Amino acid sequence: MKTQIMDVTLRDGSYAINYQFSEQDTKCIGVALENAGIRYVEIGHGMGLNASSYKNGLALCTDEEYLAAAQGAYRKCTYGMFCIPGVARVEDLDLLKKYGAGFVRVGCNIDKIRTSEPYVRRAKELGLMVAANYMKSYTATEEEFAQCVELSRSYGADIIYVVDSAGCMLPEDVKKYFDIIKQFGLKAGFHGHNNLGLANSNSLYAIDLGFDMVDCSLQGLGRSAGNASTELVVALMGIKYGFEGYDNRQLISFSDDYVKPLVKNVGLYGLDIYCGIAGFHSSYMKYIHKYSSKYSVNPYTLIVEYCKYDRINMDEAKLEEIARSLPKEDINISKFGFTRYIGDEQNFRG
C-alpha cells in the first residue's frame, strides 16, 4: 500500500478539547498509534509551533514539553508539528531538530504561499521532511494552484497537501488538485474535514488516486466537524484492498477506552454543516457570533452571504455591512452553540 496515514489526533484533535492534551496523553496516544502500525504522528497545539496564547488558546503544555514527551516514548513512528507563518517564528523550527522530530508541516492560506519560503528553507536546512499544507485549497483555480505548487517546489517542499479546511470538497475537486501536484513530480497529501460527511470517503478516494499521505484522527477528532477517522479509514482500507498493515482491532479498542472519553461535543452541528456548504473556515466563527447577535440575523444566512464575498480571509467591516443589510429575525442566538469554537487562528498577519 503506497499511502501512509498521518495521524493528527494529538494536533488537530486538540481543538476538540481546548488544546488540553497532556504529556501523558502525548505518550499514550502516540505509542498506541505506533504499536498499531501508524508511522507518522503529529503532535502539539492545534495551530502549531508558538501558537499557545490567550488569543489562540492556551495549551496545557509547551511545544518543548510535547516534543520531549514524544522523544522519550516513541520508538517506531516519525513525529512532528504544524507551523503557520506569522504564528510561528522561523527560529521555532530549531526545537524540532533538538527533540528528534522528523517533519514539519507548514500551513498557509492558498493565497499566502510566499510567506512559507523562509520556513520551508530553514526546515530543509535542519534535515526535516517538509509538507506544504495549502489551507482552503478549494478557493484556488487550477492555474493558481499550479503556481503555488511551483513556488513550494522551488522552496524545497517534499510533499504538497490538499487541505479541505471547510469540509466542502467533492471527489472531483480532490482529483483536480492531485493531478496538478503530480505534474510537478511531488508527493501529495490530503487533509479532509467532515462538515458535509465526506472526510472518510474523500480520504478513501485519495488513497485510490495514489496520494502518498492521508490525514486521519482517532474518533475523527479535529476542528469544527472534525477529520477523517483513523479507525474508519483503516477499516475501509481493509475492506477495499485487503490491507493488513494496521492493527485496527487495537486502534478501535484504544480509541474506545482512551480517546472517546475525552470527547464531549458529539453529533453534527448546523454551523459546521453551513461551513461546509459555503466554504467558511470555522476559526472566523466569533465574528459570525458577534454580528449575527448584534443585528439579530440568522448566522447560517450570514455565513452563506459572506462567502459570496470572500472564502479565504475575514474582512470584519464587510461582514458587519452584510449583517446590517440582512433581514432581522426573532432568533435565539445561544442555541447555535457558538461557544464550541475557540481560537482565532486565521486572523494573523503573516
- Return the ∠ at Cα 187 (arms to 211 and 70), rounded to 5°: 90
What mean pLDDT comes out for the span 240-256? 93
**C-alpha distances in angstroms, 169 versus 109, 202, 280?**
16, 8, 12
Look at residue 335 in the predicted model and tell me its pLDDT. 85
Record the pTM.
0.91
What mean pLDDT comes out for the span 128-153? 98
Report how far residue 324's alpha carbon sits from residue 312's, in angstroms, rounded to the nearest whole number.
21
**Amino acid, res. 350:** G
Locate the DSSP E strands across 203-258: 213-216
- Over the stretch 33-70, which tens digit does the pLDDT of each residue have? 999 999 999 999 999 999 999 889 999 999 999 999 99
> Is the CATH number 3.20.20.70 carried by domain 4-262?
yes
Pairing of strands 40-42, 4-7: parallel
Question: Which residue is associated with the grid cell 475525552?
Answer: 262
The rounded mean pLDDT for the chain is 94
Distance, C-alpha 292 to centroid of its chain: 26
What single-letter DSSP state applies at residue 126?
T
Look at residue 347 in the predicted model and tell me its pLDDT. 53
pLDDT band, residue 267 (cuts 50/70/90): low
Which phi and psi (to 5°) does residue 298 adopt? -70, 125
Look at residue 349 in the predicted model and tell me its pLDDT. 41
What mean pLDDT comes out for the span 183-188? 97
pLDDT band, residue 300 (cuts 50/70/90): very high
Picking from 107-116, 186-195, 237-246, which range would have the lowest pLDDT averaged per residue? 237-246
The domain limits of the chain are 4-262, 270-340
Residue 344 has pLDDT above 70, yes or no: no
Look at residue 265 in the predicted model and tell me its pLDDT. 63
Question: Coil, strand, or helix at residue 249?
Answer: helix
What single-letter DSSP state applies at residue 228?
-
Residue 1 has pLDDT above 80, yes or no: no
Q: Would the CA dihedral through 282, 286, 289, 295 be positive or negative?
A: negative
Element (DSSP H or E) covering residue 121: helix 117-125
What single-letter DSSP state applies at residue 214?
E
- Return the ∠ at Cα 188 (arms to 186 and 192), rounded to 5°: 160
What mean pLDDT comes out for the span 89-107? 98
CB-CB contact of 222 with 193 (8 Å) = yes
Q: What is the DSSP string of 42-56?
A: E-S-TT-TT--BTTT
